[in-house]
């Protein structure tokens, strides 16, 4: 299904109850399962990724398909590797079968895991025979995906020798590693992270009752909306002292004139001003999920930029670097890519076809849909294709847009630019 989006005349006092963090939810679900589900998680994110994780943890099947849920694939690989006496084939969508997992599989094998590839080497599906893992000291490339490292860390306390991980290269998404360690601490597990080495001794998770905070990644699309509309928007459910690295969106959007202020511990008010930076230079190594929001905002505001730290975007739901360049070209912006981890724009434009509504392809990627939707404030009638993709992390996104005053009309593909 495609939506053609028309903006409200004015956004006034919009109040958005944000979805819960799927990053925290998935970690909490795995840690709680490793504790024997002795504690209670009050509520988890209602989205495809967390649903896939919950279903898999509750399943007694020997064939588990997690669809497009990348976090679940990584975490469950480690989880099932430790389930003694159980053999599971862990599979996913066609895109998931194209996302490499060899770094994690090799690390788990170094810990004693019995994992083989059911089809292509280094890619799902995986055939996992659970056993007691030895652990010990391993070396992992920290420049690939923090989810590999988080999966290993959560499994570490249950290993016979515990686990010491020596990280090589540039560590990407470090805040997600710190999030994992912080959550493990709330379940009673101690760790040490010194220089590029993480050490976790053998120990037990304790029963813990836990509450998941709202999602800062989801908040980013409302920061973008505030920057485009000069509207007043209030976001509910966020934590001011968050474990989420994407809370950096507050400081990043200062560059776009957005002042964010807490009116209490869980309500954040966004107010816009015309005071924006003349050029944005930012390293998103620690928060790559903000890349689409930041880059689309820069372009629409005609703000030159150089954004680095994007190396992991190629192995997300889609190749997000290619997807961004393709779709921004439809808006006339010619994005430069000097290397595999950098995108930049210094004002280069190209002509566009203004005779038909402009349609944004979403590439089975929830963040493409949500990052481009607020562009309707500048281009009324823009079309977002395959809008169902937002269910991966923020199923209520379109309803929240309607509540804010946007008009969303279902449209057939024949009416828009191919």
Strands (E), 207-341: 233-236, 258-264, 267-272, 280-283, 305-308, 336-339
Instruction: Determine the Cα angle at 185 with ends 138 and 214, to 5°.
Output: 110
Within 10 angstroms of residue 258's Cβ, the number of other Cβ atoms is 24
pLDDT of 20-66, one tens digit each? 999 999 999 999 999 999 899 999 999 999 999 999 999 999 999 99
Dihedral sign for Cα 27, 146, 119, 138, please. Answer: negative
pLDDT of 149-161, one tens digit each? 999 999 999 999 9
Tokens 């898999």 locate to: 56
pLDDT band of residue 231 (cuts 50, 70, 90) is confident
Which of 51, 289, 361, 365 is catalytic? The answer is 289
Tokens 């939506």 locate to: 3
Active site residue 364: no
* pLDDT value for 357: 77
Say if residue 401's pLDDT is above 70.
yes
In the chain, what is the straight-line distance between the N-terminal and C-terminal CA atoms, in Å? 15
* pLDDT value for 416: 52
* pLDDT value for 355: 67
pLDDT of 83-117, one tens digit each? 999 999 999 999 899 999 999 999 999 999 999 99
**Cα 234 from Cα 264, distance rounded (Å):** 11
pLDDT band of residue 227 (cuts 50, 70, 90) is very high
* pLDDT value for 365: 93
Over range 236-255, report the average pLDDT: 95
Closest CA to 212 of 44, 17, 18: 44
Beta strands 136-141; 63-65: pairing state: unpaired
pLDDT of 136-188, one tens digit each? 999 999 888 899 999 999 999 999 999 999 999 988 889 999 999 999 999 99
Do the Cβ atoms of 115 and 127 come closer than 8 Å?
yes
- Neighbour-count burial for 378-408, b at 16+ CB within 10 Å, e otherwise: ebebbbbbbbebbbbbbbbbbebbeebbbeb
Say if residue 412's pLDDT is above 80.
no
Within 10 angstroms of residue 201's Cβ, the number of other Cβ atoms is 16
By CB atoms closer than 10 A (0-12, 13-18, 19+), residue 373 is: buried
For 116, half-sphere exposure in the C-beta direction (CA atoms, 13 angstrom radius) is 4
pLDDT of 295-322, one tens digit each? 999 999 999 999 999 988 877 777 899 9
pLDDT band of residue 265 (cuts 50, 70, 90) is low
The reported pTM is 0.91
Say if residue 413's pLDDT is above 70.
no
Average pLDDT, the chain: 94
CA-based Rg of the chain, rounded to a whole angstrom? 22
* pLDDT value for 144: 82
Say if residue 230's pLDDT is above 90.
no
Ranges 211-220, 313-322, 386-395: which has the least confidence: 313-322
pLDDT of 334-371, one tens digit each? 999 999 899 999 999 998 876 677 999 999 999 999 99
Do the Cβ atoms of 202 and 163 come closer than 8 Å?
no
């Amino acid at each position: 299904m495609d939506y053609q989006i028309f903006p409200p005349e004015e956004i006034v006092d919009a109040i958005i109850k944000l979805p819960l963090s799927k990053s925290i939810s998935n970690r909490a679900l795995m840690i709680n399962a490793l504790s024997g589900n002795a504690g209670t998680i009050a509520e988890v994110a209602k989205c495809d990724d967390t649903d896939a994780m919950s279903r898999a943890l509750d399943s007694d099947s020997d064939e588990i398909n997690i669809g497009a849920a990348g976090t679940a694939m990584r975490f469950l690989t480690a989880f099932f590797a430790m389930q003694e006496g159980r053999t599971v084939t862990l599979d996913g969508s066609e895109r998931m079968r194209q996302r490499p997992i060899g770094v994690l599989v090799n690390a788990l094998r170094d810990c004693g895991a019995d994992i083989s590839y059911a089809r292509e080497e280094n890619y799902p599906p995986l055939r996992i025979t659970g056993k007691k893992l030895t652990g010990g000291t391993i070396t992992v490339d920290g420049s690939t995906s923090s989810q590999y490292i988080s999966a290993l860390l959560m499994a570490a306390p249950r290993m016979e020798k515990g686990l010491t991980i020596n990280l090589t290269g540039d560590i990407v998404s470090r805040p997600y590693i710190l999030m994992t360690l912080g959550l493990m601490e709330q379940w009673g597990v101690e760790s040490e992270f010194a220089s590029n080495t993480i050490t976790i001794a053998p120990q037990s998770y304790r029963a813990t009752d836990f509450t998941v905070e709202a999602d800062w990644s989801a908040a980013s699309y409302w920061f973008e909306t505030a920057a485009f509309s000069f509207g007043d928007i209030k976001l509910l459910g966020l934590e001011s002292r968050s474990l989420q690295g994407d809370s950096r969106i507050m400081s990043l959007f200062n560059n776009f004139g957005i002042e964010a202020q807490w009116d209490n511990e869980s309500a954040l008010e966004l107010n816009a001003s015309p005071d924006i930076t003349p050029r944005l230079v930012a390293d998103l190594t620690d928060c790559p999920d903000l890349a689409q929001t930041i880059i689309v905002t820069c372009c629409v505001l005609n703000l030159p930029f150089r954004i680095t730290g994007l190396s992991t975007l190629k192995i997300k739901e889609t190749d997000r670097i290619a997807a961004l360049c393709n779709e921004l070209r439809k808006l006339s912006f010619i994005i430069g890519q000097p290397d595999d981890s950098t995108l930049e724009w210094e004002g280069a434009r190209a002509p566009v076809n203004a005779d038909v509504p402009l349609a944004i392809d979403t590439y089975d990627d929830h963040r493409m849909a949500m990052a481009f939707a607020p562009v309707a404030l500048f281009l009324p009638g823009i079309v977002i294709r395959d809008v169902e993709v937002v269910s991966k992390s923020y199923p209520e996104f379109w309803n929240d847009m309607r509540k804010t005053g946007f008009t969303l009309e279902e449209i057939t593909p024949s009416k828009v630019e191919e």
